[in-house]
């Protein structure tokens, strides 16, 4: 009997692992997306009872739970535990996690509080939920996202599907680049946005399961072994927190536009809790727009940051999302901010100094990772000069490092060893033989070669959960032109976008 029992217990985990691996993820995504599109349609028709019913169905769907677990175990925080120290590793644990996501009896654990440094030297609090709470948040976000997208401001771009910093920058360019565009800009920043949102406002206005939301908001946090209560805000680090913050700030654009006549040339662009408002005069922004914004935020328990909220003349320039906007004459130039360039230079210098005795491939991989990420972010603006300066800096620092590393070698020897391996002029590269005897070339990228490519801004009204925009988002994702789209039959297109 004992042997038979052991055999049964040993076989169960194998079956559970097979079940996890047998999930058809594409089919799961289609099933969940179909429900999300029905939710978005109901929101547009203002059928809130139907929205509630569909959200109920989605949060109890097996496929939605599976996608929620998959997100939690595949993102960057998958190896960071909460207060219970539990991680979901292995197919068996993931399959069991799907069936653990139940509303009845659910009680979230306090969050583990840590602090991460900010650029200004201060520290930002980050709260880490346990794995089960993360998966529950991911599950309910699937049901809340269609509502958030359908009710969102037209020109908000942060923490939204298929929208990016590049879209926000392009929107600001459209508002400021014309000859008759507004010349004054209100740079707004909300003080401690996530930490100060009024919980009562969220419970009254966020259309989701209120009991679950209340439990998350009042779960508290643990710091240095002591549990503290949460009386306001939504914790940074929660999967659903960015969506809650976005929905809290939605409506600000409409309030701003209603405050003044249309001829005032007032435009609004927001990315997360940073926003810019343009106006034809400083007095308009200071006396009419700013008080309206402050009133809107006060109802939600928020306030503008006095240090970071300023009104700027466009020819003096302002910085938004790491880019400097400044008009020279009648031409608007957007360039990488000097602070951003300086920060990158310091980071590159640190990488080279800390890898001075490391293998060259390790140094090159780290440099390329940093350079490529920075260049891809800034390649949509006037960045050629900044790219050239960075390439020159990297060249000089590498040459300086090599002179110290090979003090007895001539300049000709150094050039032959490190600047000819790739076969391209002025391209730092090294050759390394692999275990199989193959020679691989590692080379430092030159970000000037990445080039400048203008970004096509997303349509302000585009909603990824509405069927009329399915072809539009498919075309943006796959970077396909209209000729190919016309060549596809309606049936083929419907199959690709569902």
Q: How far apart are CA 465 and CA 361, in angstroms?
A: 44
Mean pLDDT of the chain: 90
* pLDDT higher than threshold 80 for residue 446: yes
Residue 276: name the closest of 183, 179, 172 by CA.
172
Predicted pLDDT at 66 = 97
| Residue 496 confidence (pLDDT) above 80 | no
Going by pLDDT thresholds of 50, 70 and 90, the confidence category of residue 194 is very high
> Is 468 a residue whose pLDDT tops 90?
yes
Question: Distance between CA atoms of 304 and 309, rounded to whole angstroms?
Answer: 7
What lies within 8 Å, CB to CB, of 273 at 6+ separation is 158, 189, 190, 193, 194, 245, 249
Average pLDDT on 241-248 reads 96
Q: In Å, how far are 102, 107, 200 from 219, measured between CA atoms?
A: 17, 9, 15
User: What's residue 285's pLDDT?
Assistant: 96
pLDDT score recorded for residue 10: 40
pLDDT tens string 23-81: 999 999 999 999 999 999 999 999 999 999 999 999 999 999 999 999 999 988 899 99
Eight-class DSSP state of 289:
I
| pLDDT beyond 50 at 483 | no
User: Residue range 416-444: average pLDDT?
Assistant: 84
- 313 or 416: which carries more pLDDT confidence? 313
pLDDT, position 14: 59
With cut-offs at 50, 70 and 90, classify the pLDDT of residue 357: confident
The predicted model scores a pTM of: 0.89
Predicted confidence (pLDDT) at residue 361 exceeds the cutoff of 80:
yes
- Model confidence band, residue 497 (pLDDT cutoffs 50, 70, 90): very low
pLDDT at 40: 98
Counting residues of the chain whose pLDDT is more than 90, the rounded percentage is: 78
Please say if the pLDDT value at position 437 is more than 80: no
φ/ψ (deg, to 5) at 317 = 85, 150
Q: Where does the pLDDT of residue 82 fall: very low under 50, low under 70, confident under 90, or very high at 90 and above?
A: very high
pLDDT tens track for 371-429: 999 999 999 999 999 999 999 999 999 999 999 989 999 999 998 889 888 888 778 99
Q: Is pLDDT above 90 for 7?
A: no
Beta-carbon contacts of 205 under 8 Å, excluding residues fewer than 6 positions away, are: 247, 248
Confidence of residue 143 (pLDDT cuts 50, 70, 90): very high
pLDDT category of residue 4 using cuts at 50, 70 and 90? very low
Question: What is the rounded radius of gyration, in angstroms, for the C-alpha atoms of the chain?
Answer: 26
- pLDDT score, position 76: 87
Give the pairing of strands 111-117 and 221-223: parallel
């Amino acid at each position: 009997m004992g042997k038979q029992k052991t055999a049964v217990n040993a076989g169960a985990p194998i079956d559970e692992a097979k079940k996890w691996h047998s999930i058809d993820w594409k089919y799961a995504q289609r099933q969940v997306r179909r429900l999300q599109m029905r939710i978005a349609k109901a929101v547009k028709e203002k059928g809130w009872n139907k929205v509630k019913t569909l959200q109920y169905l989605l949060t109890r769907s097996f496929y939605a739970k599976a996608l929620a677990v998959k997100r939690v175990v595949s993102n960057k925080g998958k190896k960071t535990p909460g207060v219970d120290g539990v991680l979901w590793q292995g197919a068996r644990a993931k399959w069991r996690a799907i069936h653990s996501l139940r509303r009845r009896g659910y009680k979230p654990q306090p969050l583990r509080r840590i602090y991460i440094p900010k650029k200004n030297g201060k520290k930002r609090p980050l709260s880490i939920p346990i794995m089960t709470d993360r998966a529950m948040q991911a599950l309910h976000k699937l049901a809340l996202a269609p509502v958030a997208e359908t009710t969102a401001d037209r020109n908000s771009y942060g923490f939204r599907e298929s929208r990016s910093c590049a879209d926000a920058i392009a929107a600001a360019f459209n508002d400021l680049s014309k000859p008759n565009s507004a010349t004054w800009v209100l740079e707004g920043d909300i003080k401690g946005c996530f930490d100060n949102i009024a919980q009562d406002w969220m419970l009254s206005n966020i259309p989701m399961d209120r009991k679950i939301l209340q439990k998350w908001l009042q779960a508290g946090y643990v710091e240095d072994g002591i549990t503290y209560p949460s009386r306001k805000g939504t914790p940074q680090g929660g999967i659903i927190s960015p969506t809650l913050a976005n929905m809290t700030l939605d409506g600000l654009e409409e309030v701003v536009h209603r405050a003044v006549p249309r001829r005032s040339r007032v435009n609004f662009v927001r990315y997360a809790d940073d926003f810019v408002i343009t106006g034809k005069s400083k007095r308009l922004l200071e006396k009419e727009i700013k008080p309206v914004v402050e009133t809107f935020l006060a109802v939600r328990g928020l306030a503008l940051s006095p240090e970071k909220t300023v009104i700027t003349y466009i020819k003096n320039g302002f910085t938004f999302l790491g880019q400097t906007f400044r008009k020279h004459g009648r031409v608007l130039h957007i360039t990488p901010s000097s602070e951003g360039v300086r920060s990158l230079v310091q980071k590159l210098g640190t990488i080279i100094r800390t890898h001075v005795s490391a293998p060259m491939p390790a140094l090159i991989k780290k440099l390329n990772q940093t350079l490529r990420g920075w260049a891809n972010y800034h390649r949509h603006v006037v960045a050629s000069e900044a790219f050239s300066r960075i390439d020159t800096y990297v060249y000089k620092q590498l040459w300086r490092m090599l002179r110290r590393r090979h003090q007895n070698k001539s300049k000709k020897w150094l050039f032959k060893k490190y600047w000819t391996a790739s076969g391209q002029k002025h391209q730092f590269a090294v050759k390394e033989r692999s275990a199989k005897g193959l020679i691989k070339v590692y080379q430092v990228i030159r970000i000037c070669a990445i080039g400048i490519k203008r970004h096509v801004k997303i349509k302000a009204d585009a909603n990824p959960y509405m069927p009329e925009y399915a072809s539009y988002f498919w075309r943006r994702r796959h970077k396909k032109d209209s000729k190919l789209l016309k060549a596809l039959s309606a049936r083929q297109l419907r199959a690709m976008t569902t």
